[in-house]
Amino acid sequence: MSIEVYRDTWGIPHLRAADALELAHAQGRTTALDRAWQLEVERHRAQGTTAAFLGPEAVEWDVFARRARLADTARRCFDALDEPTRTWVCAYVDGVNAGLPAGARRSPEFAATALEHGRWEPWTPLAVWLSTHILFAGFPTKLWRDHVARRLGEEYTELFATDGPATSGSNGWLVTGDRTATGAALIAGDPHRFIEAPGVYQQIRLACPEYDVVGLAVPGVPGLAHFGHTGTVAWAITNAMADYQDLYRERLRRTGEGAVEALGPDGWAPAHAHTETVEVKGAGPVEVEVIETARGPVIIDGPDGVISLRHPPRVTGRLGFAALPALLAARTVADVDRAFDPWVEPVNVVQAADTGGGTLHRVAGHVPLRPRGNLLRTVPAWEPGHEWQGAHEPMPREPVDGVAVMANARGLAAPLGVEFAAPHRAQRIARLLDASKNWTAPEMAAVHTDTHLASARPLLALVAALPDLGLEAREVRDRLLCWNRRMNADSVDAALFAAVRGAVVRRLAEHPVLAVLAEPPAYPALFQPWLALLPRVAHALETLLTGGPVPEADRLAAVRGALEEVAAAPPTGPWGATHRLAPWAALPDDGAGRPALDGDHDCVLSTSSVPGLTDHSARGPAARYVWDLARREDSLWVVPFGASGVPGDPHRRDQLPLWLRGELVPVVTDWNRLEKETA
């Protein structure tokens, strides 16, 4: 093989090969050398085998992965791939397997857990993609809406306007050439996910005679699915907040010798059933019964119900992986548009621009057509009228006029979903972009890092309306009303607002009207974060302060009590003293520290915590990027930690200080400025 590996000063791999298959092999091998531990954790998560080396805390996920049949679905989707795509994915897998032995030797986590590196199957990248995104659309929210409807009443089913315990905060925007200094388009943004160490996005360059592309890869998956720049066209995505997963309440019966039947609209029908064993480090094995009805796999089987999951990859046998090699070869917006046509999971809003002035703003993915009741709650499997009837076609799109913004808000994808992010981030980005018609790539950092908190308005309005406050509470009120509403890490007033907000959230959650929701159904622990009352109140605070079942007088009383509580024990430091990064890692004490963070959930710089519970942020910008269509070498990017996943490597965390300050790293495209690896 004629493969060359180069690195820039940040350790970012630049790969060059003789053809696309050799390049896919090189991507797999390099990723295994840089991220062996991360890859193997993801492979085991997809297979439901993490408890075997991580212990009892991983059992809940493994049981879900087995019940949901993630690995089997990935095998189905792989078998359905066209031959060129299948061969390309296999080349990547061969590269991973070639690099894993050396990568595992570099990674002390293997010895710490007594884990031997395994072997990737051809379908493993599809399983990694599926396990990464199976909870992305937030189907457990339907369990919460059921809970609300039963305890509060049907009229309050949609009261809590949030999509989970850690709601989306991704941003993206496209500025056309008539708004930039160069006359060419800029695409910028920052996907928000759980911050993981190592990071969920890998900066990489892939070059062969057919194409030369820079972008953000998902370790374990070939190509550049979400963010890339080929030199003549660039693309980016955000979560469309579409609803495309359904939950069905099932009725099962045993018919002898292990056979199971499920009641559907046409009566009782056989269901698939078998038993699997989850091995657990330091504990006994766990037996898991895997059942699949005509709707889908049973993911909940307990005292509060039997529930199956129906989702497009399981039904269609497709994930949309044919888009991945097509994107690498794209030259124009039209090429990107065609590449995304077969996309399935997850459903995204896509933006693209090319050097010829073309632009694209569309939704890509598979959203089934079915009654609205399916979108809101679990539905009875035995009643007719809840079946899928094809898919939404064509997917929504609209022309770009100067600026296009995507930030999970209700808009282009509105017909496809139920709950969307609040409009604050989208409106703020549009307002900031309207301030200039001469944007440059470096200036986009000011948009990435904007900390204005528009969602503070309803709470501050109630603060202003309170009469007859004591002296200390009046001082807190006056400071809040003079505050600039910026959630900067060094702001004492931002900390004061956060303290009052948290106290309000706790008081509302304790109100008798809402307290009936405090005891969730007995569903598996994996789903309990979606069913916890306090986070729901925190993320729906604007709605609950302006309406809902809590009487207005009681809302005012909650705010008054919060002011008095904080006045008696005000925060002793700025917002960053408590608002700190809490990244996820498979092993504890990853060494990432707890650095102070600017921003807040509804800021453009969306660093999400759970007011009333913790100011720590587990979610934020998993990457930042600016794609410049005038000169690709003027593009910029950064990730939270670094290019390497190996502890002790100089590029393990070298981008963290820049990421914290909102700075970006240049995208290097000149091969002469890169260092060639010789080993």
Residue 438 lies in a domain: no
DSSP string, 488-535: -TT-HHHHHHHHHHHHHHHHHHHSHHHHTTSS--S--GGGHHHH-HHH
Residue 293 lies in a domain: no
Distance CA 353, CA 345 (A): 22
Distance CA 263, CA 257 (A): 19
353 and 455 share a domain?
no
Residue 669 lies in a domain: yes
Residue 642 lies in a domain: yes
Pairing of strands 202-208, 13-16: parallel
564 and 668 share a domain?
no
At 44, the pLDDT band (50, 70, 90 cuts) reads very high
Give the domain-ending residue among 583, 599, 620.
620
Distance CA 95, CA 102 (A): 12
Other CB atoms within 10 A of residue 267 CB: 8
Section 117-143 average pLDDT? 95
Edge-first strand order for the sheet with 665-666 is: 403-406, 171-175, 186-190, 624-628, 636-638, 665-666
Distance CA 517, CA 151 (A): 7
573 and 536 share a domain?
yes
Lowest mean pLDDT among 297-301, 410-414, 458-462: 410-414
Residue 287 lies in a domain: no
* Mean per-residue pLDDT of the chain: 95
The pTM of the full predicted model, rounded to 2 decimals, is 0.95
399 and 415 share a domain?
yes
At 167, the pLDDT band (50, 70, 90 cuts) reads low
585 and 542 share a domain?
yes
414 and 476 share a domain?
no
Using DSSP, state whether 49 is helix, strand or coil.
coil
Higher pLDDT, 667 or 302: 667
616 and 628 share a domain?
no
Give the domain-ending residue among 597, 620, 643.
620
628 and 671 share a domain?
yes
Residue with tokens 């089997």: 72
Using DSSP, state whether 86 is helix, strand or coil.
helix
Residue 421 lies in a domain: yes
For the domain that residue 499 is a member of, what is the CATH number? Answer: 1.10.1400
Residue 166 has pLDDT above 60, yes or no: no
Residue 297 lies in a domain: no
For the domain that residue 37 is a member of, what is the CATH number? Answer: 3.60.20.10
How many domains does one find in the chain? 2
Quick one: pLDDT at residue 168?
61
DSSP bridge partners of 202? 217
612 and 639 share a domain?
no
Distance CA 471, CA 200 (A): 49
Section 131-142 average pLDDT? 92
Residue 165 has pLDDT above 50, yes or no: no
Task: List pLDDT tens digits, range 211-269.
Answer: 999 999 999 999 999 999 999 999 999 999 999 999 999 999 998 777 999 999 999 99
Task: List pLDDT tens digits, range 556-615.
Answer: 999 999 999 999 999 999 999 999 999 988 887 655 578 999 999 999 999 999 999 999
549 and 637 share a domain?
no
Using DSSP, state whether 472 is helix, strand or coil.
helix
Residue 262 lies in a domain: no
573 and 615 share a domain?
yes
11 and 106 share a domain?
yes
Give the domain-ending residue among 572, 605, 620.
620
Residue 1 has pLDDT above 80, yes or no: no
Each residue of 377-398: b (16+ CB within 10 Å) or e?
bbbebbeeebbbeebbeebbee
**What is the span of the domain harbouring residue 236?**
4-134+168-244+316-432+622-676
